[in-house]
Amino acid sequence: MKSLTPVAIAAGILSFAARPASGQIDYRNLDDGRPVATEDAYSIERFGFELLAPYRFEAVHAGAKSHVAAPELEYGLLPNTQVGIRTLLAAVSDAGTTDWGLAGLRVFGLYNFNTESAGLPGLAVRAETAIPVGQLAGDAFSLALEGIATRSWGATRAHINAGVRVGTDTDISSVDTPPRWQVSGAIDHTFLRQSLLVIGELLTERETNGAPVEVNLSAGLRWQWEPTLVLDFGLSRRLASNGPDFGLTVGLSHAFAVRSLIPGADR
């Protein structure tokens, strides 16, 4: 698709111009949708960048199918704080016709309140704004707010996410729209000398007021391919009468730093 070209060029320039973050260990940082919806409570390192290239396919029992590529850039703006921007490029097929194009922009931020202790899990809050840009983006802005908790037991961690969307249900995009409310729980475990993370998730959500509640079961993995590169893969399946029959997620992320943006790095 022609709309993919500017994104690919920008990603390539950014990757080659950036200085890799030596020894980056990123396979444990669960991002939204990579490979499951549940996130962990921790931000990326301060002054660090992460370039993400995820792809998701979904099929529903009525025959509709969607393909979404969502290139994303995150930045550790402040201690325990990250901000980011994501572009949605989609192709949606239904009843023998296919629509494709830009499906909106997402601007988001995450703040981690604390490192978990014996009596308290790691806690964070995340906010994301959906900006209606593109022919598949709908016509309405929306704001999603989410609370995140993470608790660790050695190589095993548990996560709980709970979020709501503020705004109207009319004129919103049908492609990757934040649900009216969402609650998910996930457990992950590290294998192979801390280079592979396996995760299982149960998610419940309602897309709009009055819509049926969706219940989905997902599983995935994140593999530290190189010190700065992480591959992820996920599968999901609906358990209730509503929601996608089947979902597939594949992604690649690259962690790096730009030396000139780090205070005192050239001294």
Question: What pLDDT score was predicted for residue 62?
Answer: 74
Is the pLDDT reported for residue 93 higher than 50? yes
Question: What pLDDT score was predicted for residue 14?
Answer: 39
pLDDT in tens, 35-57: 999 999 999 999 999 999 999 99
Measure Cα distances from 168 to 131, 142, 173, 179, 181 in Å.
Answer: 14, 8, 11, 11, 13
Is the pLDDT reported for residue 220 higher than 80? yes
Question: What pLDDT score was predicted for residue 10?
Answer: 43
Cis before 35? omega within 30:
yes
Mean of per-residue pLDDT scores for the chain: 88
Query: For the whole model, what pTM was predicted?
Result: 0.87
Confidence bin at 117 (pLDDT 50/70/90):
very high
Which domains does the chain possess?
4-259 (2.40.160.40)
Q: Which segment of 145-149, 217-221, 255-259 scores lowest on mean pLDDT?
A: 255-259
- State phi, psi for 9 to the nearest 5 degrees: -65, -45
Question: What pLDDT score was predicted for residue 7?
Answer: 44
**3-class SS string, the chain:** CCCHHHHHHHHHHHHHHCEECCCCCCCCCCECCECCCCCCCCCCCCCEEEEEEEEEEEECCCCCEEEEECCEEEEEEECCEEEEEEEEEEEEEECCEEEEEEEEEEEEEEEECCCCCCCCCEEEEEEEEEECCCCCCECCCEEEEEEEEEEEECCEEEEEEEEEEECCCCCECCCCCCCCEEEEEEEEEEECCCCEEEEEEEEEEECCCCCCEEEEEEEEEEEEEECCEEEEEEEEEECCCCCCCEEEEEEEEEEEECHHHCCCCCC
CA–CA gap between residue 39 and residue 50 (Å, rounded): 15
Proportion of the chain above pLDDT 70, given as a percent? 89
Q: Which segment of 39-48, 54-63, 112-121 scores lowest on mean pLDDT?
A: 54-63
